[in-house]
Amino acid sequence: MHDLVKQHRRWVANFVSGKVEELRFHLGCVVNACDETLRLFKDQKPTPNEIHRAVVYGFSALANGVQTLKDAIQTATGNALPWSSIESLRHGVFMYGARNAVTHDGNPVIGAWADGRYFVPAEICRIGDRGKLITIPAPSADVRTLCLEFTEDFARLLRQTLLAAHAEPALQGMPFSIEELDNAFGESNVIPDFARELFLNNRDEVAAQIQTVEHDPAAQAVKHLDDLVAYCEGAQKK
């Protein structure tokens, strides 16, 4: 069981960089759409529906990505990353409530536009797990600002959490084992026969090379988080 937990942590650690990039992608969709609608407003032109959808759907994906990264980094590091830590960030309390509203209720959250900027129009009301009415105050900041400020703080929190664990041997090494390659080449229907034969003929050499690979998924994820912080900082200066 201990080996399985260790392997699970390594698997998840190798997914973190991709999820950070995905968060950056959705944030970029929101920011770019907000910039475009402001430009159109200044030019006295209407905003097309594609821009509205990019903001609403992009925010929804961003909120869900926060939950995914919270869970993934907690699993990879083995250290707790409670929502209370996230709630202490700028707009953290709102993002916690908004994530629940988006995921559990399908609430679009973003429903107001004024002078070229998107806003949360009013407090959000929802029913919690225990049947209790929950109200989520609307932030005064526009959507572009709150997404950038929250994501910058969130990225810094994730970076701090990963740095505390990146030197741990359990997270380092080849992303996959020779046994996993055996399963892939033995069971996959998309690998051509010549590639399967090439692997089998060189399996021992591949297995030896795997043992020498230096791979630190936590450090890799920290680099992506640094890039995300830099993007947030730069976008807020515009």
Both 30 and 131 in one domain: the answer is yes
Residues 86 and 66 sit within 8 Å (Cβ to Cβ): yes
| C-alpha neighbours within 13 Å on the C-beta side of residue 70 | 19
Both 43 and 54 in one domain: the answer is yes
Both 59 and 97 in one domain: the answer is yes
Nearest to residue 176, comparing CAs of 132, 206, 133?
206
**Buried b vs exposed e over 81-111: b needs ≥16 C-beta within 10 Å?**
bebeebeebbbbbbbbbbbbbbeeeebebbe
Give the residues across from 118 on adjacent strands.
Answer: 113
Both 135 and 47 in one domain: the answer is yes
Both 165 and 183 in one domain: the answer is no
Both 184 and 151 in one domain: the answer is no
Q: How many of the other CB atoms lie within 10 Å of CB of 29?
A: 18
Classify burial at 22, counting beta carbons within 10 Å of its beta carbon; exposed 0-12, middle 13-18, buried 19 or more: middle
> Tens-digit pLDDT profile for the chain (238 aa)?
467 777 788 888 889 999 999 999 999 999 999 999 999 999 999 999 999 999 999 999 999 999 999 999 999 988 889 999 999 999 999 999 999 999 999 999 999 999 999 999 999 999 988 889 999 999 999 999 999 999 999 999 999 999 887 656 666 666 667 787 888 888 788 888 888 888 888 888 888 887 777 778 888 999 999 999 999 999 999 8
Q: How many residues does the chain have?
A: 238
What pTM does this model have? 0.89
Full residue range of the structural domain in which residue 188 is found? 174-213
